[in-house]
Amino acid sequence: MLLDPPAWPAHGTLWSHLVSDASLHELRQFAQAAGLPDRGFDLDHYDAPAARHDELVAAGATPVDGRTLARRLATSGLRVPGHERAAAKRPALTDRWAALGDLPAVVGADLITRWAEPHRVYHGRLHLAAALDALDELLTASDVDAASAHTARLAVWFHDAVHDGEAGRDEERSAALVVKALATTPLTSDDVAEVERLVLLTAAHAPEPDDLLGGLVSDADLAVLGGSPQRYARYVHQVRAEYGHVPDGAFRAGRAAVLEQLLALPSLYATPAGRARWAVAAETNLRGELESLRA
């Protein structure tokens, strides 16, 4: 656990960065035990006010200079690079919502606030930005008209808008939010129903072979599984930290069951573009994690 000097001004005080160069789960547990609020977590670190610096050191954080902290965090693989951080900030996401056209800004603002809820570590605004990027990549390689692409993008915006860590129920609540939030927009009832359907589909990631939009949305959500080994390792840390309240044994068993379910799918990715981009790396990543859980 590393803590740099309070040197970052904001809100009338100076702030330190609290990081772990080993585990986001460890970082979250330490911060919570020390009474730092979850809203202080910022993708790969906690912001800690100057008044808490000595107390955090006494609790076990190692004081280091800012350069050492940045280097150790980067070496750990847990650091979120600046370009990813920028894409996940509210202004960037607000611009992406506005690009969808004639939809209420208040709906987009509410969604961004939901994605930034402090209990989220993986299922947060970083995942939203990455899933939207992945969908754009798939759309470029697919024969989809503009209206269908718009529907798919809306589904990605809503697919984890409600996230309480209850598989199945989260997707149901997110789908219900689609109906409520889009009811008074220019979208037709058929359009809203299709977005609702696509959100529900992300619970199992098993679209029918002829369901192109379902495949696109499912593949965009699962794109992280086919990332580089470093990116995948960071994702694994994020998931464990998000479910930090679950004891290790129960988490390992539950996580192994999820991995086995994904590996048992006839094809993890439903679209040709998704399979070409991510299938080989995803299987390697999933099997590697499963083996580590069983070790």
- Domain boundaries defined on the chain: 2-79, 85-294
Instruction: Please say whether the beta carbons of 249 and 193 come within 8 A.
Output: no
CATH number corresponding to 85-294: 1.10.1300.10
Instruction: Please say whether the beta carbons of 138 and 274 come within 8 A.
Output: yes
Return the structure tokens found at 187. 């979208």
| 18 bridge partner residues | 3, 46
Q: How far is CA 290 from the centre of its chain?
A: 20
Instruction: Please say whether the beta carbons of 55 and 3 come within 8 A.
Output: no
pLDDT tens for each residue of the chain, 295 residues long: 999 999 999 999 999 999 999 999 999 999 999 999 999 999 999 999 999 999 999 999 999 999 999 999 999 999 999 999 999 999 999 999 999 998 999 999 999 999 999 999 999 999 999 999 999 999 999 999 999 999 999 999 999 999 998 888 999 999 999 999 999 999 999 999 999 999 999 999 999 999 999 999 999 999 999 999 999 999 999 999 999 999 999 999 999 999 999 999 889 999 999 999 999 999 999 999 999 999 8
> pTM for this one?
0.95
d(CA 271, CA 273): 5
Q: What is the DSSP letter of 183?
A: T
Long-range contacts, 34-38 (Cβ 8 Å, 24+) = 34/59, 37/118, 38/118, 38/119
pLDDT of residue 166: 86
